[in-house]
Amino acid sequence: MIDGTVVYYQGSPGAFSEAAILSHWPNAMPQGFPTFAETFQALQDNPNAVGLLPIENAYRGPVYDVLDLLTASTLSIWAEAVQPVELALMAYGHSDLSRIKKVRSHPQALMQSQMFCREHGLIVEVALDTAGSAKELLESRREDVGAIASPRAAEIYGLNIVRRGIQDHPDNRTRFWLLSQRPIHLTSPLNRMKTSAVFDLPDKPGALVNYLLWYKKFGLNLSKVESRPRPGAPFAYRFWIDVVGDAQSLDQAWESGLSDLEWFRRFGTYPVLSE
C-alpha cells in the first residue's frame, strides 16, 4: 500500500513527479529532494523508503541520470506509472510574453517545449526542477524571466500564467518507476506486467542479436531496449531491456540466455498502473 505513506521524489511541490504520486495515490505524502542523486541516497539510506522517479518522456526519451543511479543502487522496481505533462509559461507580476527574455526550468521540460522557446526567441536556462524554477522566480521577483512548470506550480507560487500547453506535443507524458528496497505488492488495473533488467555482453559479432533471440523463442515482447555507456570500459555499452510477458516464460528466457552474458541485473517484475 502506498496511500498514507511518505513517497520521495525529486523536486519541489508542484513538480510533475509530485503530481504523478498524488494522481495515483491521493493520500500519499510526497517528500521532495533537490536532486536525483539525493533522492537515491535517501532511498538507499532508509530500507523502508519508497520513491517515484521519472525514467522516460514519450517524446524526449530517457532520463539517463535516473537509469544510471538505479543501476548503481540496490533498489527494485515495484510499479510503473505514467503522468501527462502539460507545460505552462509563467511570470511574476504580469502575463505579457513580450516582456520575458529568459526562461528557466528542468532540462527535460526545456527539451519538451523547445519549439515554443525557439519561436519566441527565449533564452533557456537550466534549473533543478520545474516547480523549483517557479519558486525561484517568486523569490527573485524578476519580470524579464519566466518559469516553465505545471499550471499547478503557478497556483502554488502565486505566479501569472502567460501561456498554457506550450509543450511541443499535446499528448506529452512521462513514465515513472516506483522504487524501494522493500517489497511493495500492487496490482495492475490494466492487467499488464513488465520486467526490467540490465546486462553486459561480450564484445563479439552477433552477441546482442543472439541474446535477444531467446526472447523471441519464448514469445516475449520487448517493449524497450536502451544502451548506456559501460562504466570502466569507454565506448563499450550496457543494455537495458523492458519485457512484457508472463513471469514463467520470462524466467525460462532469462535462464536460457544467462550464459551469453558477462553481467546481469534484474530490477523486478512489476505492474503497469497507467500508460
Taking residues 75 to 94 in sequence order and writing x for each that binds ligand PRE by CB under 6 A, - otherwise, the string is: ----------x---------
Question: Which residue of the set 16, 33, 116, 174 is catalytic?
Answer: 174
Query: How many Å separate Cα 207 from the centre of its chain?
Result: 29
Question: Which residue of the set 36, 176, 239, 267 is catalytic?
Answer: 176
The question of whether 239 is a catalytic residue gets the answer: no
Q: What angle (nearest 5°) sits at the alpha carbon of residue 132, between those of residues 129 and 137?
A: 130
| Torsion sign, CA atoms 214, 216, 219, 224 | positive
Q: Which is nearer to ligand PRE, 67 or 212 (CB)?
A: 67
Taking residues 91 to 120 in sequence order and writing x for each that binds ligand PRE by CB under 6 A, - otherwise, the string is: ---------------x-xx-----------
- Grid coordinates representing 39 are 533522492
Contact with ligand PRE (CB under 6 A): which of 130, 180, 195, 274?
Answer: 130
Among candidates 196, 193, 131, 184, which has minimal Cα distance to 25?
184
Q: Which is nearer to ligand PRE, 36 or 254 (CB)?
A: 36
User: Interface with ligand PRE by CB under 6 A: which range of 67-75, 128-136, 157-165, 207-215?
Assistant: 128-136
Q: How far is the CB of 107 from ligand PRE (least distance, A)?
A: 8
- The DSSP output letter for 267 is E
Q: How far is the CB of 28 from ligand PRE (least distance, A)?
A: 15
Q: What angle (nearest 5°) sits at the alpha carbon of residue 266, between those of residues 263 and 270?
A: 165
Binding to ligand PRE (CB under 6 A) within 204-243 occurs at none
- Cβ contact 129:12 at 8 Å: yes
Among candidates 9, 42, 27, which has minimal Cα distance to 176?
9
Pairing type for strands 193-200 and 263-271 reads antiparallel
The question of whether 267 is a catalytic residue gets the answer: no
69 burial (CB, 10 Å; 0-12 / 13-18 / 19+) is: buried
Taking residues 34 to 73 in sequence order and writing x for each that binds ligand PRE by CB under 6 A, - otherwise, the string is: --------------------x--x-----x----------
Query: Does the protein bind ligand PRE through residue 131 (CB under 6 A)?
Result: yes
Site of interaction with ligand PRE (CB under 6 A)? 11, 15-17, 54, 57, 63, 85, 106, 108-109, 129-131, 174
Active site residues: 174, 176
